[in-house]
């Protein structure tokens, strides 16, 4: 069964450092997403990406964040200067379609980001 | 604004019993809802979805009910098994159709 894969599973970094989280969405999917989940809290939307551009972003997704699809398979989330409060699980998701009537998003296993 | 919340943070049921997990939403214009299951250390896993033009949808051992009048949906799991132990989230689609807005989650614990 096709799945979304994320690497690394755990990333430890120092405050102020740049990190890049990587994702390989399901191959025939066109819509890509990043979410985060702070320990013990709900999953929060960060950004969606379609046709090589951001289609929607949340207030969390400020200038420190960027996304890119550098090639035909990878989808990355970059945090330029990490802060302690960026520590969280980051989930990548993808969907075949999107819309208010149908949008099944399939999630990867996540990358745990620990900022020290 | 859009918000989705869950009534109970934890639910403990005996193996073989039926489970009901509830969710309330505040945006009366919400068109689409999804239930996800999240096991420890894993990402959310799609269970079942429902559109706002439906009251009920059934899957394998799961049923989702939608009551638009009181803005409430529930997930019913029949004959709950130990493998059903997880955190369950309801999510609603944003007005743009891109973002999923998740509730806080209900932790389901199945005891033998």
**SS3 for A86?**
helix
Which structure tokens are listed for A110? 């996540």
B72-93 core/surface letters (b: 16 or more CB in 10 A; e: else): ebbbbbeebeeebbbbbbbbbb
Find the CB nearest B31 among A45, A98, A100: A100
Residue pLDDT, tens place only, A3-38: 999 999 999 999 999 999 999 999 999 999 999 999
Rounded to a whole number of angstroms, the distance between the first and last alpha carbons of chain A is: 36
What DSSP string runs through B52-79?
A: TT-SEEE-SSEEEEEETTTTEEEEEESS
Residue pLDDT, tens place only, B66-110: 999 999 999 999 999 999 999 999 999 988 889 999 988 899 999
DSSP annotation of B88: E
Residues of chain A contacting residue B98, judged by C-beta atoms under 8 Å apart: 31, 33, 48, 50, 55-56, 98, 103
Would you call B39 an interface residue with chain A, using a CB distance cutoff of 8 Å? no
Residues of chain A contacting residue B43, judged by C-beta atoms under 8 Å apart: 4, 91, 93, 107-110
A98/B97 CB distance under 8 A: yes
Pairing of strands A88-95, A111-115: antiparallel
Return the closest-CA partner of residue A88 out of A67, A60, A62: A60
Residues of chain B contacting residue A55, judged by C-beta atoms under 8 Å apart: 96, 98
Give residue A97's pLDDT.
Answer: 85
**CA nearest A45 in B: which residue?**
B99
Residue B4 pLDDT class (50, 70, 90 cuts):
low
Predicted confidence (pLDDT) at residue B6 exceeds the cutoff of 50: no
Which structure tokens are listed for A27? 């191959």
Helical residues (DSSP H) of A2-114, grouped into ranges: none
């Amino acid at each position: 069964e096709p799945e979304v894969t994320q690497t690394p599973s755990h990333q430890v970094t120092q405050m102020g450092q740049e990190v890049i989280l990587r994702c390989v969405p399901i191959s025939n999917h066109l819509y890509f997403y990043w979410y985060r989940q702070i320990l013990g809290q709900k999953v929060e939307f960060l950004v969606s990406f379609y046709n090589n551009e951001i289609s929607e972003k949340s207030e969390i997704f400020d200038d420190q964040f960027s996304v890119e699809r550098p090639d035909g398979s990878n989808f990355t989330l970059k945090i330029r200067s990490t802060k302690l409060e960026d520590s969280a699980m980051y989930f990548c998701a993808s969907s075949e379609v999107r819309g208010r009537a149908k949008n099944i998003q399939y999630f990867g296993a996540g990358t745990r980001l620990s900022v020290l | 604004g859009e918000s989705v919340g869950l009534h109970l943070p934890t639910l403990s049921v005996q193996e073989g019993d039926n489970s009901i997990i509830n969710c309330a939403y505040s945006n009366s214009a919400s068109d689409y809802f999804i239930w996800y299951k999240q096991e420890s250390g894993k990402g959310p896993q799609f269970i079942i979805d429902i559109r706002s033009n439906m009251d009920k949808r059934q899957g394998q051992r799961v049923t989702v009910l939608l009551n638009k009048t009181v803005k409430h949906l529930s997930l019913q799991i029949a004959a709950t098994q130990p493998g059903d132990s997880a955190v369950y989230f309801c999510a609603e689609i944003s007005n743009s159709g891109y973002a999923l807005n998740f509730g806080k989650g209900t932790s389901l614990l199945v005891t033998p």
